[in-house]
């Protein structure tokens, strides 16, 4: 009995150590399932260890009645040295036939989209990310929520 318990505890410990290592994980829900131009998502991420690679992930929670195949977002980054960059990204939520990517259950679909894999943070310090909807309409209905995650990988950055 003790041997079985020890094996189960060791297995549980190993499995729990295999999960994602998020250094930042924030989620927002939108009132009335509508993302407006004014609802800019602000994220401050403290990066201490620049020797590892990181994955940046946006999660979208939307209604199955969402009217579009994708969702355009503008991502602005302010680096610790105050350098600024911005990029428009198309988050693909469905394939060409309209079938949703991700998992749908009831009135909600969820999808996590890696927007940058194996990113290198060259400077330690605080990185500021702002994410705004960049569609052609002021109110995007059917978007229930958004998450932003920064995952530290086990891979080392080459310098």
CB 58 within 8 A of CB 93: no
Q: Give the C-alpha separation, 149 to 135, whole Å.
A: 22
- The predicted model gives 120-138 an average pLDDT of 97
Cα–Cα nearest to 146, from 119, 110, 114, 94: 110
CATH number of 21-156: 2.60.120.1300
Residue 142 has pLDDT above 90, yes or no: yes
What pLDDT, in 10s, does the model give residues 20-56? Answer: 899 999 999 999 999 999 999 999 999 999 999 999 9
Q: What is the pLDDT of residue 158?
A: 84
Q: What is the mean pLDDT of the chain?
A: 91
Confidence label for 19 from pLDDT (cuts 50, 70 and 90): confident
Cα–Cα nearest to 118, from 58, 57, 70: 57
Domain boundaries of the chain, sorted by first residue: 21-156
Q: What is the pLDDT of residue 22?
A: 97
- The predicted model gives 122-144 an average pLDDT of 97
Residue 122 has pLDDT above 80, yes or no: yes
Element (H, E) at 3: helix 2-17
Cα–Cα nearest to 75, from 47, 40, 105: 40
Confidence label for 131 from pLDDT (cuts 50, 70 and 90): very high
Confidence label for 8 from pLDDT (cuts 50, 70 and 90): very low
Residue 82 has pLDDT above 50, yes or no: yes
Q: What token pair was written down for 125? A: 């310090």
């Amino acid at each position: 009995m003790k041997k079985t318990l020890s094996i189960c505890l060791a297995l549980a410990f190993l499995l729990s150590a295999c999960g994602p290592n998020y250094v930042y994980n924030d989620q927002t829900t939108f009132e009335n399932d509508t993302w407006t131009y004014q609802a800019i998502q602000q994220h401050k991420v403290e990066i201490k260890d620049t020797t590892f690679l990181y994955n940046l992930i946006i999660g979208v929670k939307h209604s199955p009645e969402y009217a579009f195949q994708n969702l355009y977002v503008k991502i602005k980054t302010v680096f610790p040295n105050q350098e600024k960059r911005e990029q428009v990204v198309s988050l693909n939520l469905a394939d060409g036939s309209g079938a949703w990517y991700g998992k749908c259950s009831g009135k909600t679909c969820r999808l996590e989209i890696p927007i940058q894999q194996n990113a290198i943070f060259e400077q330690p310090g605080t990185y500021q990310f702002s994410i705004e909807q960049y569609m052609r309409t002021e109110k995007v209905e059917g978007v229930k929520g958004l998450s932003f995650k920064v995952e530290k990988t086990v891979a080392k950055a080459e310098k």
